């Protein structure tokens, strides 16, 4: 598609802003106090991890995503929302690079929670399959996976894709470790690029300039208990999150709610 002058100027501005931020601003990320999470009710197939003081945020995150898994290849929406809220604390450890995704995650969570907390009947739906079927039954989506803007199904879709960016990044680190920036670029190309238009691609490219190093992330937060433990924690997180996202993707597709249009 032809690129308008406005699109070209916006892309150039985003790149300049990213470069200025890299030069003038040090990465900052809030430190976790390391306190263990309260044990929630069991919603999954049995946790692999125990939430305790000796586990980093990545281990806690894997525990919470594991609790999303229900029988019959389904996912608990309530548990998934809880896991996504906690994942924001993981994202925060990646500094300015994660700021955009944190904002998008918070907004999509607001939409999903708004649906599960209203009096329309969605609040009684325990699973993603039932939740998506309910949203489809409202008649606001079009055939071919064309989702209504700001709908619960669309919000759940983009929560999944946002997390998949880090899934792809972490998988790349385990398979072919390099710099976090290059691993993040690979994760983006594999997981999110197919759904991004030209402007979003340029914005993502600018955001990569803000990517921290793995050493910085491990030293400045509670992602894992030690650098030596990083790969083991990443493997455990990838294994369970990959299953959760695969189930959600299958549910979206089975209900004709997989919107593949470019944003």
pLDDT-derived band at 227, boundaries 50, 70, 90:
confident
Whether residue 82 is contained in a domain is answered as yes
Cα 240 from chain centre: 14
Is residue 190's pLDDT more than 50? yes
Alpha-carbon distance 87 to 91, whole Å? 6
pLDDT-derived band at 118, boundaries 50, 70, 90:
low
Greater confidence, 116 or 35?
A: 116
Alpha-carbon distance 48 to 56, whole Å? 14
Does the CA dihedral 65-67-68-70 come out positive or negative? positive
Whether residue 14 is contained in a domain is answered as no
Token pair in block for residue 71: 């029988």
pLDDT recorded at residue 228: 87
Whether residue 39 is contained in a domain is answered as no
Q: Which residues contact 150 (CB under 8 A, 6 or more apart)?
A: 111
User: Averaged over 192-214, what is the pLDDT?
Assistant: 94
Does the CA dihedral 19-21-26-29 come out positive or negative? negative
pLDDT digits (tens, 9 = 90+) for 230-258: 999 999 999 999 999 999 999 999 999 99
Domain count along the chain: 1
pLDDT recorded at residue 28: 34
Is residue 122's pLDDT more than 80? no
Give the orientation angle of helix 99-116 with respect to helix 152-175, to 10 degrees: 140
pLDDT recorded at residue 144: 95
Whether residue 167 is contained in a domain is answered as yes
Token pair in block for residue 73: 């290849």
What's the CATH code of the domain at 94? 1.10.3520.10
User: Averaged over 172-185, what is the pLDDT?
Assistant: 96
Whether residue 36 is contained in a domain is answered as no
User: Averaged over 170-191, what is the pLDDT?
Assistant: 96
Alpha-carbon distance 106 to 139, whole Å? 26
Whether residue 209 is contained in a domain is answered as yes
pLDDT digits (tens, 9 = 90+) for 54-66: 679 999 999 999 9
pLDDT recorded at residue 39: 31
Whether residue 102 is contained in a domain is answered as yes
Alpha-carbon distance 11 to 99, whole Å? 18
pLDDT recorded at residue 24: 31
Whether residue 28 is contained in a domain is answered as no
Cβ proximity of 263 and 200 under 8 Å:
yes
pLDDT recorded at residue 25: 34
Task: Give the residue numbers spanning the domain of 220.
Answer: 54-255
Taking alpha carbons only, the member of 144, 150, 142, 115 closest to residue 131 is 115
Token pair in block for residue 190: 């594999």
pLDDT-derived band at 40, boundaries 50, 70, 90:
very low
Greater confidence, 117 or 57?
A: 57
User: Averaged over 81-99, what is the pLDDT?
Assistant: 96
Cα 186 from chain centre: 16
Alpha-carbon distance 62 to 51, whole Å? 10
């Amino acid at each position: 598609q032809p690129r308008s002058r406005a699109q070209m100027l916006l892309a150039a501005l985003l790149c300049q802003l990213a470069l200025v931020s890299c030069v003038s601003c040090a990465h900052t990320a809030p430190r976790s106090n390391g306190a263990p999470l309260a044990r929630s009710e069991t919603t999954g197939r049995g946790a692999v991890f125990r939430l305790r003081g000796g586990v980093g945020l990545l281990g806690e995150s894997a525990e919470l995503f594991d609790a999303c898994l229900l029988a019959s290849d389904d996912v608990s929406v309530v548990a998934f929302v809880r896991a996504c809220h906690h994942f924001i604390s993981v994202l925060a450890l990646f500094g300015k690079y994660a700021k955009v995704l944190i904002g998008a995650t918070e907004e999509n969570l607001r939409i999903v929670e708004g649906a599960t907390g209203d009096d329309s009947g969605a609040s009684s739906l325990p699973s993603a399959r039932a939740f998506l079927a309910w949203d489809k039954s409202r008649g606001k989506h079009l055939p071919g996976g064309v989702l209504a803007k700001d709908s619960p199904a669309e919000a759940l879709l983009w929560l999944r894709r946002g997390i998949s960016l880090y899934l792809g990044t972490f998988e790349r680190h385990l398979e072919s470790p390099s710099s976090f920036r290059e691993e993040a670029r690979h994760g983006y190309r594999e997981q999110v690029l197919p759904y991004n238009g030209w402007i979003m691609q340029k914005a993502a490219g600018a955001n990569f300039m803000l990517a921290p190093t793995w050493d910085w992330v491990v030293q400045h937060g509670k992602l894992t208990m030690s650098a030596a433990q990083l790969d083991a924690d990443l493997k455990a997180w990838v294994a369970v999150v990959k299953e959760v996202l695969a189930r959600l993707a299958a549910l979206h597709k089975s209900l004709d709610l997989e919107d593949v249009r470019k944003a």
